[in-house]
Amino acid sequence: MRFSPQQANPPNILFILADDLGYADLSCYGRRDYTTPNIDRLAGDGTRFTQAYANSAVCTATRVALITGRYQYRLRVGLEEPLANNPNVGLEPSHPTLPSLLKKAGYSSTLIGKWHLGVLPKFGPLKSGYDHFYGFRGGAVDYYSHSNQAARDDFWDDDVPLHQAGYLTELLGNRAVEVVEQYAKSRQPFLISLHFNAPHWPWEAPGDEAESQRLRSAGNGLFDLDGGSQATYQQMIEAMDRQIGRVLRALDAHGLTGNTVVIFTSDNGGERFADTWPFTGKKTELLEGGLRIPAVISWPGRIPRGRTTNQVAISMDWVPTLLAAAGTAPDPAYPSDGMNLLPTLTQNAPLVARKLYWRYKGNAQRAMRDGDLKFLKILGNTFLFDVVADPLERANLKDRRKDDYQRLVRQWHEWNATMLPEIKDSFTHGFSGEDLADHYGAKEPTQEPDVDR
């Protein structure tokens, strides 16, 4: 199936992003104790990825790559893991983004939900290409009070503070339906970035106003370390799925479905209650469970229905892919580090072998994937895994396959030399030495060594 980027009717784009969703938290990815019928519909109507990765194991860094199409480590804001309490750092308005590049191609764009790439007055969605914004700027807000970790209101309509009662997942769905209806009337091609905060903490499901009040009374901000349950987590995901269903039905009602690219994915691996099977690890870890994410794409008439692909993909691929779908391309002064996935998705092109790189300041983590092999470093412990044959990352092949191990380490260093250096004051999260010993039988070093060459 071939597609000419010069077609007269460019596709609309609906990009749906979950926050901290685990690889297996959807029924189309194997979740058994509940169903996600609307996201499953997207998978059935299009293609489901089995080897999709996040650019980072934490929020801000992945979102930098997602909006720029480049490794986040090329930008100062991408070094924040995550961005917090630093008003002088954010996504520079001068940097080309997916919405700013689409605007040049005649698109209008709206961000609904989470931004987390810098705060006013220097940074914001409207400064980085979006025409409209409805949501919150920080990393997390309470689902009912819409206040952040510092107990300050963080809910905006464009750049105007907003006070609106309701469960945030439902409010975001309401606005998304309204925006679809507005764009349907204008007949202008659009990008809607629907970035849910679900299922990110605080652990509050529909009807949990009492839990929201308890957190406020306790004075611990949003950090409900004693809260949540599998049942609450399930209800949070089901609420998100219901709102996605409403938006999809709005596309149907206005005859937009056939020419709309719809993508659903997550910003990183799952957190406390997530299911990351068959992988080990969670958010903030460069183990597969912290990086491997669900990803589905639907584009009726262009992408065949009901397919699964083993193509290795990463968050920054969506910028060149969507720009190609819109008949345009990245700014040549800021070339994308991602790959255009359209040939694989629409023309059944052969799978492309990838070399992908990560680093994460917490516990001095480094990783690289080359084909089926993955180099991994956590603290002073280094590994080589075949993540296709061994998705749990248990069998360390670094001694058996010394040449491969040394090659990947060398290539990681060569790549890292082209990126900005890490910053000392970045947040650090992840395994403790005790956790690491339990997982691998390894010992925490007395000081942090560099990757062995």
Q: How far apart are CA 110 and CA 445, in angstroms?
A: 47
Length of the chain: 453
Q: How far apart are CA 119 and CA 372, in angstroms?
A: 40
Q: How far apart are CA 60 and CA 80, in angstroms?
A: 7
CB of 445 within 8 A of CB of 380? yes
**pLDDT for 283:** 97
Q: Which residue type occupies 291?
A: L
Q: How far apart are CA 51 and CA 41, in angstroms?
A: 20
- Provide the H-helix boundaries in 254-341: 288-291, 318-325
CB of 167 within 8 A of CB of 148? no
Least Cα distance to 373 among 397, 394, 399, 350 occurs for: 397
Whether a cis peptide bond, with omega within 30° of 0, leads into 121 is: yes
Angle of helix 168-186 versus helix 230-253 axis, rounded to 10: 10
**pLDDT for 220:** 74
399: Cβ–Cβ under 8 A, 6 or more apart, which residues?
none
Q: How far apart are CA 31 and CA 270, in angstroms?
A: 13
Q: What is the pLDDT along the chain (453 residues), one digit of tens a residue?
A: 333 444 569 999 999 999 999 999 999 999 999 999 999 999 999 999 999 999 999 999 999 999 999 999 999 999 999 999 899 999 999 999 999 999 999 999 999 999 999 999 999 999 999 999 999 999 999 999 999 999 999 999 999 999 999 999 999 999 999 999 999 999 999 999 999 999 999 999 999 999 999 999 888 778 888 899 999 999 999 999 999 999 999 999 999 999 999 999 999 999 999 999 999 999 999 999 999 999 999 999 899 999 999 999 999 999 999 999 999 999 999 999 999 999 999 988 899 999 999 999 999 999 999 999 999 999 999 999 999 999 999 999 999 999 999 999 999 999 999 999 999 854 444 333 333 333 334 433 333 334 443
User: φ and ψ at 374, to 5 degrees?
Assistant: -135, 125
From first CA to last CA, the distance across the chain in angstroms is 45
**pLDDT for 221:** 78
Q: How far apart are CA 102 and CA 81, in angstroms?
A: 28
**pLDDT for 433:** 35
**pLDDT for 278:** 97
The DSSP 8-state label assigned to residue 451 in this structure reads P
Strands 190-195 and 12-18 come out as: parallel
Neighbours of 282 (CB within 10 A): 21
Angle of helix 230-253 versus helix 37-45 axis, rounded to 10: 50
CB of 72 within 8 A of CB of 153? no
